[in-house]
């Protein structure tokens, strides 16, 4: 199938994760639009999982074609729930959490394997958490241009504990095809955990060098997987 036929057959909806907003998808969005895809970006408040799922569903409702739903980091939990929408043809996880029924991001990170550390969260304040600004680059954005990474650290969006602890109902990956991009240098979600979650979900797994912010630092790699997922769905 020609690229124009594939791109016209499906829309892409991009869901960001914790501590950031949708602007981080700019590089991926630019590539997708260049390649003829309709691409929409969800701006989630990351205050609660339920609210973020509802916001994502509103964007899905505005799409006129089947959707490839893409999520990064905590956005993986959002798309795992929102992906049950009948408009969603497939789901793509980018260095993301992939919860099962009854799991939350909090339960997935509560017991790190030996030698793995938890993300550098500061103590919660008023029901929200952020990352230690001094450790943000090494934990979240090790391969992002330093000036941009410093700005990301300074402009963090506080992450609600209701989002961190929100549990998923029936996971969309049990009924929808899925793909996973494993970031080999991730210091937020250990690569071993990414491998476990992707395997459990039966996702098509691609591994690449990159930090947790691989979607910002390496948009070509991320866009290529999304376009592969669209092509795979359209070829079945």
> What digits encode the pLDDT tens for the residues 55-69?
999 999 999 999 999
CA angle 158, 80, 42 (to 5 degrees): 50
* Closest listed residue to residue 42, CA positions, set 27, 32, 34, 61: 61
> Rounded to whole angstroms, what are the CA distances from 54 to 24, 49, 96?
21, 9, 19
pTM of the predicted model as reported, rounded to 2 decimal places = 0.96
At 193-232, the pLDDT tens digits run 999 999 999 999 999 999 999 999 999 999 999 999 999 9
pLDDT at 111: 80
Q: Which domains does the chain have, with CATH numbers?
A: 3-115+160-234 (3.40.50.1820)
Residue 113, judged by CB atoms within 10 A of its CB (0-12, 13-18, 19+), counts as exposed
Q: Which of 100, 102, 96, 51 is nearest to 75 (CA)?
A: 96
DSSP tag of 225: H
The whole-angstrom separation of Cα 109 and Cα 125 is: 20
Specify the DSSP element, H or E, that contains 223: helix 219-234
First to last CA, the chain: 11
Digits of tens for pLDDT over the chain (236 positions)?
445 455 667 999 999 999 999 999 999 999 999 999 999 999 999 999 999 999 999 999 999 999 999 999 999 999 999 999 999 999 999 999 999 999 999 999 988 777 777 899 999 999 999 999 999 999 999 999 999 999 999 999 999 999 999 999 999 999 999 999 999 999 999 999 999 999 999 999 999 999 999 999 999 999 999 999 999 999 88
């Amino acid at each position: 199938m020609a690229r124009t036929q594939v791109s016209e057959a499906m829309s892409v909806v991009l869901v960001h994760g914790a501590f950031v907003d949708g602007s981080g998808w700019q590089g991926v969005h630019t590539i997708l639009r260049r390649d003829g895809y309709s691409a929409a970006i969800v701006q989630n408040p990351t205050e609660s999982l339920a609210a973020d799922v509802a916001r994502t569903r509103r964007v899905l409702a505005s799409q006129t074609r089947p959707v490839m739903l893409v999520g990064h980091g905590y956005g993986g939990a959002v798309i795992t729930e929102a992906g049950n929408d009948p408009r969603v043809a497939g789901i793509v996880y980018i260095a993301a959490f992939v919860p099962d029924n009854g799991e939350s991001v909090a339960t997935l990170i509560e017991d790190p394997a030996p030698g793995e550390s938890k993300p550098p969260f500061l103590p919660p304040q008023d029901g929200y958490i952020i990352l230690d600004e001094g450790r943000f680059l090494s934990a979240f954005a090790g391969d992002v241009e330093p000036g941009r990474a410093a700005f990301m650290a300074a402009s963090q969006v506080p992450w609600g504990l209701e989002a961190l602890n929100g549990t998923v109902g029936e996971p969309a990956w049990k009924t929808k095809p899925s793909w996973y991009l494993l970031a080999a240098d991730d210091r937020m979600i250990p690569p071993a955990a990414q491998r476990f979650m992707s395997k459990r979900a039966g996702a098509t797994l691609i591994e690449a060098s990159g930090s947790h912010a691989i979607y910002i630092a390496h948009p070509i790699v991320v866009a290529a997987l999304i376009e592969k997922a669209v092509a795979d769905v359209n070829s079945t």
